Amino acid sequence: MARLQLEIDEHVTGRVVSADTLESLPYLDAVIRESLRVRTIIPFVTRLLKAPFAIGERTYPHGVMVSPCIHLVHRREELYPDPNVFRPERFLERRFDPSQWLPFGGGNRLCLGMPFALFEMKVVLATMLANCRFQCEANWRSRVSRRGVVLAPDDGVQIRVHPC
């Protein structure tokens, strides 16, 4: 959090964050991408095979429904060393293939709102961090459960907000 706050303090002037300013915040982008990797909102997607498809040694015929688990892709050790550790730097060190980072789905079914959602997350988070300081409650642990098709914290998030 300290590194992110330093980046915000260095580049964000005033109370409003411009689109140009967002370009100078690579660590903010990395924090958002890592957050979406660690806390996948939609854990899996369902697809109807239009043609036979091989996964490993097994081939599935067309017409079969498959449900790739995004959560498990984001936990693959060979893609994300120490996958259970929150480490935004991994997104600064390399660019991930679209099939390796899937919080918005992938392929021709990729969420059309992804660029806008990422932009909005950056604007909101940068604006909040430029105007407030946040402190997690001591000993608070998040428990996640399914709410419809998405995963969300059971009892919210316990954070203290301090105006700057």
**Cβ 25 vs Cβ 124: under 8 Å:** no
Q: Where are the domains of the chain?
A: 2-131
- Amino acid identity, residue 51? A
pLDDT in tens, 93-116: 999 998 899 999 888 888 999 999
pLDDT at res. 141: 75
pLDDT in tens, 11-65: 998 777 888 899 999 999 999 999 999 998 888 888 899 999 998 899 999 999 9
* Chain mean pLDDT for the chain: 90
Q: How far is CA 30 from CA 77, 87, 90, 100, 160, in A?
A: 19, 9, 8, 15, 23
Task: Give the predicted TM-score (pTM) of the model.
Answer: 0.87
Arch. (CATH architecture) of 2-131: Orthogonal Bundle (1.10)
